[in-house]
Chain A
Amino acid sequence: MSPLLSVRGVHKTYAAAKRSKVVALEDVDLDVGEGEIVALIGPSGCGKSTLLRMMAGLDTDFEGDLSWSVPPRPGKDIGFVFQEPALLPWRTVRRNVSLGLEAQRDTSEQGREQVTTLLDLVGLTDFADSFPKELSGGMRQRTAIARALAYNPRILLMDEPFGALDAITRDRLHDDLLRIWETTHKTIVLVTHSVEEATYLADRVAVMSARPGRIKAVHTVPLSRERTPETRQLPEFAKFAGMLRQELV
């Protein structure tokens, strides 16, 4: 079976000061399979966010190929979660979540149900009619995740989605994301700078290096898909996270 998305020989340079060229990405190859969770990890400036934005179609100025098994329909197949929740403060949680459906002029019963289901999945049913400012940071980011999933995209792209949260909230959102995956089996590409986060969430981890940004290695996480907070205590978990940390140095 061909992967959902395969990145081949992607190369990006941009002009910096004094006409010098900076290589942002060099020879990047990566496959993302259907239903897989892939983490992109690397030091800051390694181009991992750039690569994610290319996948989202936000950056089209590069060489190389990005091929999809089924090309994404504009506005329908990409779910994106930013580091900041980026919610619309004048809309309630429910209306923030249904933004994508509204953009597609989808007023179907099915769409409404999908929103309700997602709100339930991220534990925000009681806050559906609250405004973003009335929520905690973790709840806002949960809203952002629900918003990205509401129009049932084929792939969920996340750009350091938990980076701005405190450690306890972050752990909780990790479990939320795994629970979401359990029910949706959504393909997820996650950019992170935390080795623990990558280990806990991903099926495979792509380690990137900086200047020029390239993929150093792709590792399969040696843990079963069933992950619980106890997983973090396993020796394999510590070993794999330690190995990733070594690679990043």
Chain B
Amino acid sequence: MSMETLTRRRGTDRDVKGSAASGPGDSGTARTVAVRVLTPLAYVAAVLAAWSAYVSLADVPSYLLPAPGDVLDAGVKLVQDGTLWPNLTYTLRNIVLGFVGGSLIGIALGWVLWASRTVREILAPYMVLLQAAPKIAVAPLLVLWFGLSLTSQYALILLLVFFPMAMATVLGLKDVPADIGTLGRLLHLSRWQYLRMIQLPAAVPALLAGAKIAVIDAMTGAFLAEYLASERGLGYLMVLGNTSSDTPLLIAAVLITVAVGLLGFGLVSLAERRLLRGRR
């Protein structure tokens, strides 16, 4: 919510261009920034305090719930003994490649679905069926078909990513207002010009909304794949923590995963703010 306010206010500042209204606007922005930074910090502090207090007061054994300090130690150890970096980069690479590949497939498929009624009628029901199948159930099948390899991992990520992107593309391409469609005809735009100059830019908000879902799905896919069938990656670290009853390691791995998730979501949101600058 506060992020929304901030973007909107920046918008207005650009708007008025050197009029007096930017003065009070600035102090408001500063306050919003402070609130924006302090609120999550306060949340984290409160959760850590409650966690810490619960562990020590209720005397919870470490294998059930380790104290925050132990988790931090496990995290530091991961960094120090060089385990974290290769596993983290491995997972990140899979997420990035899977997200980009899945998005491209999704956008292309979305365009075809938008452009051809026949394809839409043939494919759409199967796409929905495919999506309705729980991924946790599909994943072992993929392992069975593609083996314990990168292929099965990518197959799972692509399967998760392409759907939201395809749906967002179909929605976005339909998003051109009637008058602007007419304008395209008046200016005699070719199909390609129309796509490039009007449809794709018009679809950007929808594509970004799809990307926000897809980036989280890409991560889910990557972790799930590693969890089931890998000897590397953050998902593997979780398995390791779990099987060796190293609960601090498990929780540290989960927290790193959450951080990666936030990073991905944050990057898409940043792209959104950049790309939609100037729009309503």
- Determine the distance from Cα of A156 to Cα of B113 in the docked complex, in whole angstroms: 37
Q: Mark B162-197, 1 if CB is under 8 A from A, else 0.
A: 000000000000000101101101111100010001
| Given A88-B198, A99-B197, A82 and B179 contact (CB-CB distance below 8 Å) | yes
Distance, CA A75 to CA B190, complexed state (A): 11
Asked, given contacts A103-B193, A133-B279, A133-B280, whether A88 binds B186 with beta carbons under 8 Å apart, the answer is no
Indicate if the CB atoms of B182 and A75 lie closer than 8 Å.
no
Name, among B11, B179, B201, B280, the residue most crowded by chain A CB atoms within 10 Å (CB to CB): B179
CB neighbours of A100 from chain B (8 A): 187
Contact: B278 with A131, CB < 8 Å?
A: yes
Question: Contacts A84-B179, A86-B177; is A102 near B197 (CB within 8 Å)?
Answer: yes
Does chain B have a CB within 8 A of A80? yes
Residues of B within 8 A of A99 (CB): 183, 187, 197
Distance in angstroms from B208 CB to nearest chain A CB is: 12
B280 touches A86 (CB 8 A): no
Tell me if A74 counts as interface (CB < 8 A to partner B). yes
Q: Is the CB of A58 within 8 A of B193?
A: no
CB pair A134 B15 closer than 8 Å: yes
Q: Is the CB of A89 within 8 A of B279?
A: yes
For B179, the closest partner residue in chain A by CB is A86
Residues of chain B within 8 A of A80, CB atoms compared: 182-183, 186
In the bound assembly, the distance between CA atoms of A75 and B185 in angstroms comes to 8
Say whether A89 contacts B280, CB under 8 Å: yes
CB nearest to A89 among chain B residues: B279
B201/A58 in contact, CB under 8 A: no
Contact status B180-A86, CB under 8 Å: yes
Nearest CB of B to A7, in Å: 19
8 Å CB interface, B104-151 against A: none
Chain A residues, CB < 8 A from B36: none
Q: Does B204 contact A (CB under 8 A)?
A: yes
In the assembled complex, A28 has its CB within 8 A of some CB on chain B? no
B273 at the interface (CB under 8 A from A): no
**Interface bracket on B:** 20 to 34
B93 contacts the other chain (CB 8 A): no
A228 to B39, CA, bound (A): 60
Q: Chain A 81-101 against B: per-residue CB contact (8 Å), 1 yes, 0 no?
A: 010101011111000000110
Which positions 250-280 of chain B face chain A at CB distance < 8 Å? 278-280
Contact between A78 and B14 (Cβ–Cβ < 8 Å)?
no
Q: Which residues of B contact A131 (CB under 8 A)?
A: 278-279
Contact in complex: B278, A133 (CB < 8 Å): yes
Residue of B nearest to A91 (CB): B201
Chain B nearest Cβ from A14, distance in angstroms: 18
- The smallest C-beta distance from A139 to any residue of chain B, in angstroms, reads 12
Collect the chain B residues with CB atoms within 8 Å of residue A58's CB: 182, 185-186
Decide if B188 touches A74 in the complex (CB within 8 Å). Answer: yes
Q: CA A82 – CA B177 in complex, angstroms? A: 12
Residues of B within 8 A of A133 (CB): 11, 278-280
Report the bound CA distance from A238 to B262 in whole Å. 67
User: Bound complex: CA of A131 vs CA of B187, how far in Å?
Assistant: 21
The answer on a CB contact under 8 Å between B186 and A56 is yes
Distance A102 CA – B180 CA, assembled complex (angstroms): 15
Residues of A within 8 A of B204 (CB): 90
Q: Are B201 and A103 in contact (CB under 8 A)?
A: no
Selected from A76, A90, A130, the residue in CB contact (under 8 A) with B279 is A90
B278 contacts which of A74, A84, A86, A90 (Cβ < 8 Å)?
A: A90
Q: Which of B177, B188, B198 has the most CB of A within 10 A?
A: B188
Q: B8-19 CB contact bits vs A (8 Å, 1 = yes)?
A: 000100110100
- In the complex, residue of chain B having the shortest beta-carbon distance to the beta carbon of A127: B17
For the complex formed, measure the closest distance between the CB of A61 and the CB atoms of chain B, giving whole angstroms.
14
Which A-chain residue is minimally distant from B278 (CB atoms)? A131
Q: How far is the CB of A162 from chain B (nearest CB, A)?
A: 16
- Contact residues in B for A75 (Cβ distance below 8 Å): 186-189
Are B280 and A78 interface neighbours, CB within 8 A?
no
Binding site for B on A (CB under 8 A): 56-58, 74-76, 78, 80, 82, 84, 86, 88-92, 99-100, 102-103, 130-131, 133-134
Q: A75-B187, A100-B187, A133-B279 are in contact. List 16 more A-B contacts (CB 8 A).
A: A56-B186, A74-B188, A76-B188, A80-B182, A84-B179, A86-B183, A88-B198, A90-B202, A92-B278, A102-B197, A103-B187, A103-B189, A103-B193, A130-B17, A131-B279, A134-B15
Shortest beta-carbon contacts, A-B, top 9: A75-B188, A131-B278, A86-B179, A103-B187, A74-B188, A134-B15, A89-B279, A82-B179, A133-B280
